[in-house]
Amino acid sequence: MRGLVLAGPETIEYRPDLPDPEVETPADALVSVRLAGVCGSDLHPYHGREPVAWGIVPGHEAAGEVVEVGVDVGRFSPGDRVFLPFTTSCDVCPPCRAGLSSRCDRGRLFGWGPPGAGAGEGLGGTQAELVRVPLADTTLLLLPEDLGFEDGVLLGDNFATGYFCAARGGEFEGRLVAIVGCGAVGLSALVAARYFGAGRIVCVDPVPARREAASRLGADIVVAPEAAPAAIAALPRPDDRGAFAVLEAVGSQPARRLALVLAAPGATISSVGVATDDFGFSPADLYDRNLTFRSGRCPVRSLMPGIFEALACGDLRIPTSELVSAAPVSLENGPGVYRSFAARSGPGLKPLLAP
**Among residues 30, 52, 104, 352, which is the contact residue for Zn ion, using CB under 5 A?**
104
- Pick the closer one to Zn ion by CB: 96 or 222: 96
- Pick the closer one to Zn ion by CB: 42 or 205: 42
Smallest distance from the beta carbon of 305 to Zn ion, in angstroms? Answer: 16
**Among residues 21, 30, 41, 188, which is the contact residue for Zn ion, using CB under 5 A?**
41
**Among residues 96, 180, 219, 304, which is the contact residue for Zn ion, using CB under 5 A?**
96
Closest CA to 109 of 130, 88, 90, 91: 88
- Can you tell me the distance from the alpha carbon of 111 to that of 5, in angstroms, rounded to the nearest whole number? 9
- Pick the closer one to Zn ion by CB: 61 or 205: 61
140 touches Zn ion (CB under 5 A): no
Give 322's Cβ-side CA count (13 Å radius): 24
109 touches Zn ion (CB under 5 A): no
Side by side, which strands form the sheet with 243-248?
A: 221-223, 201-204, 177-180, 243-248, 263-271, 292-295
First to last CA, the chain: 10
153 touches Zn ion (CB under 5 A): no
- Pick the closer one to Zn ion by CB: 35 or 260: 35
Taking contact as CB under 5 A, which single stretch among the options 67-75, 149-157, 320-328, 347-355 is the one that binds Zn ion?
Answer: 149-157
Smallest distance from the beta carbon of 59 to Zn ion, in angstroms? Answer: 8
**Among residues 36, 90, 214, 349, which is the contact residue for Zn ion, using CB under 5 A?**
90
Closest CA to 53 of 133, 144, 117: 117
- Can you tell me the distance from the alpha carbon of 214 to that of 344, in angstroms, rounded to the nearest whole number? 17
**Among residues 39, 187, 219, 303, which is the contact residue for Zn ion, using CB under 5 A?**
39
Asked whether 219 and 202 are in contact (CB, 8 A), the reply is yes
Taking contact as CB under 5 A, which single stretch among the options 73-81, 87-95, 302-310, 311-319 is the one that binds Zn ion?
Answer: 87-95
CA distances from 288 to 27, 56, 178, 283, 321 (A): 50, 45, 20, 9, 42
